[in-house]
């Protein structure tokens, strides 16, 4: 019998070792090893035992067979071969597309097996009748035992629930659970998760009859899917238009045909309610991932998927790599969310990787959003994606009423407070009616741009169309090209002295609210009060329990949660995000304002929104006030065309980091020179990055622009090749496409 050799990538993220090495597969391991297996190998002269990934198998030795060492062990078994192979192929594609080492990509797509302690799953059930439980919940409410009340209320609604979900999403400790158990209110069961057949039956008859708008989309999808057409789809649907219901119907269709589904949801929007909604519909064939899972727990979930124990995986970006044997659909909800882009190498975007994964698996990608990214809309307009719209909210109240208030006019009237007269009177009204208000302060890009409170003028770079940033030395600096000018304390447009950086933070607003409305109960949510996910869900659930009248917060509060009693949303400083030095500023502003407005009037009561701004005429503000996505898109794509920004042209950012700024600059110049050889349309830099120094490491960036994406990939390859054949040193180089 001929020998079998495995091509193995070493599990060390070192550019020099980013190639495969051949190992002989001993007889006894042949059954176990497949492409994608994690293996143990002897490495180097000392035969140090280290880990690696098998990326190929063959019968042909590449070097003298006697010099090939044998594999020590195969660490992963129990995997069906096909999805693993696809994932390895996907990793190769990611390395090619986003740069970095192959091992970095492999680590992203293949979860590493950690010590698996077969964790017991605990199920919590009511041990008393519903009526009794309601009485008990009422008692808890009176005694302010909010955690107990939350849990019991949840159980009244859903019957039973998984403990880990309770802990992560309702933020209830095991102590509370034990206390309720000892009182005989609830019972704990182990290892029997969502297997109650009764609840499936109930759910089957429960789910909604689709509206015509929804049904048309599902029908078109089903027809194409059964014919084997796999074009990606984009659903543009206003908040509350029933997108999730459409996704569930599509998933049901795919699962009926014996295939599986991945449902991506941004971590922050991945709430207990959402997971429960899928579980009620699909029962125990659903699982979910979130960032709190340990490597082992995550591996367990992936194992369940590859063994065929589940059909649907819900989770953030990383759920994309669930090794389903017959993947049929990948859904990307809130497609515009920035968290779909990875921050570390490889800096991949879930949308593009999903499309490649779907291509390998013969699956369909479905994206949905109330404010689709300009990129996705652009591709849909070009016919690359099928495009669907859901224009109506399911409930007949329609969208909230939006008022735009020009704060320059307020100042002229003599109103120097942060509340416009309109917002003030509506807040008073809500307090009287015992309805809730959210005050949202748009702080994205607070990093020191200078604006005039009288005319709204913002100091901009004459060369770059981005705002200048005020530095401590009194200079206004462009972070793109390095242009500087002296800050004069006087508005260059109108001569007013009311000019400076915007300082109103959440804390000041909270104080202002307390001063203006002494009787109101106020909660604040920002990076200080919500340091981790626990604080975050604690604040949200206490607001949702009616423990406060007004919630003040940053963009953290506009996502995910539904507050049925919120009927007023005030947006303070709507323009702050317009002047970040980023070509996506308009898009971010439109998203934020639209999503913030979407928080008002989600249930029976209809809502009102006040947008306070210094630039009511800016198209991103005007379009979000009119809740008109198409108007926004037309203006925005015009701007991108004019300036040659993505998605019209593509951009490669090469980020160079070094403790020594001279070395970084030198490397920047070399890489810019290498880029020049491919003659792209434009090269900018090297110049200090927006974040020019981080933890004493200097950062420089080279931007390369070209309408041909492939040319940028070629430039990246050339740069990497040069780095491979030259001493690595301590300079780090990272690539980011369409940053
Ligand atoms: P989106 O995901 O677009 O925000 P959802 O799917 O969450 O919208 O739907 C909003 C609300 O309307 C949910 O409470 C959902 O249960 C309900 N809903 C959705 N579709 C229907 C329908 N066809 N009939 C009745 N209610 C529906
Ligand atoms: Zn001015
Ligand atoms: Zn500039």
CATH number at residue 67: 3.40.1440.60
Question: Which of 613, 712, 679, 186 is closest to 403 using CA atoms?
Answer: 613
Task: Count Cβ atoms within 10 A of the Cβ of residue 533 and give its class: 0-12 exposed, 13-18 middle, 19 or more buried.
Answer: middle
| Same-domain status, 630 and 723 | no
How far does the centroid of ligand 1 lie from the alpha carbon of residue 279, in Å?
A: 16
- Residue 627 predicted with pLDDT over 50: yes
Question: Which of 429, 400, 409, 444 is closest to 610 using CA atoms?
Answer: 400
pLDDT given at position 492: 85
Domain holding 699: CATH number?
3.30.70.600
Q: CA-to-CA distance for 558 and 604, rounded, in angstroms? A: 19
Where does the pLDDT of residue 19 fall: very low under 50, low under 70, confident under 90, or very high at 90 and above? Answer: confident
pLDDT given at position 1: 58
Q: Whose CA is nearest to atom 4 of ligand 1?
A: 240
- Residue 528 predicted with pLDDT over 80: no
| Same-domain status, 131 and 247 | no
210 lines ligand 1 (CB under 6 A): yes
pLDDT, average across residues 521-541: 76
| Inside any domain, residue 527 | yes
| Inside any domain, residue 166 | yes
- Residue 115 predicted with pLDDT over 80: no
Distances (CA, A) of 42 to 49, 68, 106, 296: 5, 11, 20, 25
Where does the pLDDT of residue 601 fall: very low under 50, low under 70, confident under 90, or very high at 90 and above? Answer: low
Strand pairing of 5-10 and 20-24?
Answer: antiparallel
Looking at the CA of 213, name the nearest ligand. 1
Region label for 520, one of left (φ > 0), alpha (ψ between -120 and 50) or beta (otherwise): beta
State which ligand 1 atom lies nearest to the alpha carbon of 241. 3
Domain holding 543: CATH number?
3.40.50.300
SS3 330: strand
pLDDT exceeding 70 applies to what percent of the chain? Answer: 86
How far does the centroid of ligand 2 lie from the alpha carbon of residue 645, in Å?
A: 29
Where does the pLDDT of residue 448 fall: very low under 50, low under 70, confident under 90, or very high at 90 and above? Answer: low
| Same-domain status, 475 and 514 | no
pLDDT, average across residues 251-273: 88
**Structural domain boundaries enclosing 143:** 120-192
| Same-domain status, 239 and 340 | yes
Q: Who wins on pLDDT, 149 or 445?
A: 149
Provide the β-strand partners of residue 287. Answer: 313
* Strand stretches in 289-416, DSSP E: 312-315, 327-333, 364-369, 386-390, 401-406
pLDDT digits (tens, 9 = 90+) for 184-206: 888 877 653 332 323 333 444 45
Mutate to test the pocket of ligand 1, among 203, 236, 245 (most ligand atoms within 8 A of CB): 245
* pLDDT mean across residues, the chain: 82
State which ligand 1 atom lies nearest to the alpha carbon of 245. 6
| Inside any domain, residue 581 | yes
pLDDT given at position 198: 31
| Same-domain status, 425 and 463 | no
How many domains is the chain partitioned into structurally?
6
333 lines ligand 1 (CB under 6 A): no
pLDDT given at position 504: 54
pLDDT given at position 201: 39
pLDDT given at position 236: 96
Looking at the CA of 274, name the nearest ligand. 1
Where does the pLDDT of residue 435 fall: very low under 50, low under 70, confident under 90, or very high at 90 and above? Answer: very high
How far does the centroid of ligand 1 lie from the alpha carbon of residue 393, in Å?
A: 8
130 lines ligand 1 (CB under 6 A): no
| Same-domain status, 623 and 695 | no
| Inside any domain, residue 597 | yes
Task: Count Cβ atoms within 10 A of the Cβ of residue 60 and give its class: 0-12 exposed, 13-18 middle, 19 or more buried.
Answer: exposed
| Inside any domain, residue 110 | no
Q: Whose CA is nearest to atom 8 of ligand 1?
A: 242
For residue 97 the two structure tokens come to: 């597309």
Mutate to test the pocket of ligand 1, among 281, 394, 598, 604 (most ligand atoms within 8 A of CB): 394
State which ligand 1 atom lies nearest to the alpha carbon of 394. 12
How far does the centroid of ligand 1 lie from the alpha carbon of residue 387, in Å?
A: 20
Asked if residues 588 and 576 have their Cβ atoms less than 8 Å apart, the reply is: no
| Same-domain status, 578 and 661 | no
Q: CA-to-CA distance for 320 and 298, rounded, in angstroms? A: 13
Question: Which of 389, 350, 357 is closest to 371 using CA atoms?
Answer: 389
pLDDT digits (tens, 9 = 90+) for 658-678: 888 888 998 899 899 988 888
239 lines ligand 1 (CB under 6 A): yes
| Same-domain status, 138 and 13 | no
| Same-domain status, 618 and 538 | yes
> Last residue of a domain, which of 580, 612, 640?
640
For residue 652 the two structure tokens come to: 């490669």
Kindly report which listed range (112-121, 170-179, 521-530) carries the lowest average pLDDT score: 112-121
Q: What residues contact 474, with CB distance under 8 A and at least 6 apart? A: 486, 487
> Last residue of a domain, which of 574, 609, 640?
640
Asked if residues 613 and 619 have their Cβ atoms less than 8 Å apart, the reply is: no
Looking at the CA of 466, name the nearest ligand. 3
| Same-domain status, 336 and 293 | yes
């Amino acid at each position: 019998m001929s020998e079998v050799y495995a091509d193995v990538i070493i599990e060390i993220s070192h550019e020099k070792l980013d190639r495969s090495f051949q190992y002989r597969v001993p007889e006894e391991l042949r059954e176990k090893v497949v492409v994608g297996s994690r293996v143990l190998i002897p490495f180097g002269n000392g035969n140090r035992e280290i880990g690696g990934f098998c990326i190929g198998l063959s019968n042909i030795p590449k070097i003298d067979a006697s010099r090939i060492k044998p594999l020590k062990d195969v660490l992963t078994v129990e995997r069906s071969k096909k999805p693993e192979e696809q994932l390895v192929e996907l990793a190769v594609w990611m390395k090619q597309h986003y740069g970095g080492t192959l091992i970095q990509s492999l680590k992203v797509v293949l979860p590493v097996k950690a010590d698996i302690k077969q964790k017991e799953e605990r199920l919590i059930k009511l041990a008393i009748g519903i009526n009794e439980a309601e009485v008990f919940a009422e008692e808890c409410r009176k005694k302010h035992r909010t955690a107990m009340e939350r849990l019991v209320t949840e159980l009244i609604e859903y019957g039973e629930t998984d403990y880990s979900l309770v802990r992560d999403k309702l933020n209830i400790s095991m102590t509370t659970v034990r206390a309720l158990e000892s009182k005989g209110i609830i019972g704990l069961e182990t290892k029997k998760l969502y297997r109650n057949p009764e609840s499936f039956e109930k759910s089957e008859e429960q789910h909604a009859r689709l509206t015509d708008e929804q049904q048309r989309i599902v029908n078109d999808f089903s027809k194409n899917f059964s014919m084997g057409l796999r074009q990606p789809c984009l659903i543009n649907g206003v908040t509350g238009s029933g997108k999730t219901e459409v996704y569930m119907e599509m998933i049901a269709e795919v699962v009926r045909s014996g295939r599986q589904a991945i449902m991506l949801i941004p971590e922050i929007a991945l709430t207990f309610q959402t997971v429960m909604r899928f579980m009620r519909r699909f029962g125990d064939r659903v699982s979910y991932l979130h960032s709190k899972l340990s490597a082992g727990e995550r591996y367990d979930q992936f194992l369940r998927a590859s063994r065929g124990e589940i059909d649907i995986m819900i989770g953030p970006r990383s759920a994309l790599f669930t090794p389903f044997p017959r993947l049929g659909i990948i859904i990307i909800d809130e497609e515009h969310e920035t968290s779909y882009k990875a921050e570390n190498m490889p800096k991949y975007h879930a949308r593009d990787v999903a499309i490649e994964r779907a291509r390998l698996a013969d699956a369909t990608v479905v994206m949905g959003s109330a404010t689709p990214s300009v990129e996705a809309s652009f591709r849909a307009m070009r016919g690359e994606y099928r495009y669907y719209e859901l224009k109506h909210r399911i409930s007949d109240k329609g969208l909230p009423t939006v008022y735009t208030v020009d704060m320059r006019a307020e100042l002229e009237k003599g109103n120097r407070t942060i509340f416009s007269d309109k917002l003030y009177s509506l807040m008073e009204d809500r307090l009287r009616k015992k309805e809730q208000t959210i005050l949202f302060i748009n702080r994205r890009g607070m990093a020191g741009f200078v604006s005039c409170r009288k005319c709204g003028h913002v100091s901009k770079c004459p060369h770059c169309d981005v705002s200048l940033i005020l530095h401590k030395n009194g200079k206004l600096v462009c972070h793109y090209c390095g242009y500087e000018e002296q800050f004069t304390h006087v508005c260059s447009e109108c001569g007013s002295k009311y000019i400076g950086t915007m300082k109103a933070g959440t804390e000041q607003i909270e104080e202002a609210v307390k001063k203006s409305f002494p009787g109101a109960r106020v909660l604040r949510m920002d990076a200080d009060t919500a340091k981790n996910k626990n604080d975050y869900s604690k604040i949200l659930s206490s607001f949702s329990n009616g423990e406060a009248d007004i919630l003040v917060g940053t963009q953290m509060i506009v996502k995910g949660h539904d507050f049925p009693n919120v009927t007023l949303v005030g947006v303070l400083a709507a323009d702050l995000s317009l002047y970040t030095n980023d070509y996506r500023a308009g898009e971010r502003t439109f998203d934020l304002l639209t999503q913030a407005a979407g928080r008002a009037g989600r249930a029976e009561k209809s809502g009102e929104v006040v947008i306070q701004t210094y630039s009511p005429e800016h198209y991103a503000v005007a379009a979000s006030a009119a809740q008109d996505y198409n108007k926004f898109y037309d203006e925005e794509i015009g701007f991108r065309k004019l300036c040659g920004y993505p998605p019209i042209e593509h951009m490669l950012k090469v980020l160079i980091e070094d403790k020594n700024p001279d070395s970084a600059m030198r490397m920047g110049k070399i890489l810019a020179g290498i880029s020049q050889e491919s003659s792209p349309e434009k090269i900018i830099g090297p110049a200090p990055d927006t974040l020019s120094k981080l933890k004493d490491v200097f950062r420089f960036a080279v931007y390369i622009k070209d309408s041909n994406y492939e040319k940028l990939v070629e430039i990246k390859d050339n740069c990497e090749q040069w780095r491979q054949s030259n001493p690595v040193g301590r300079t780090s180089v990272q690539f980011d496409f369409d940053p």
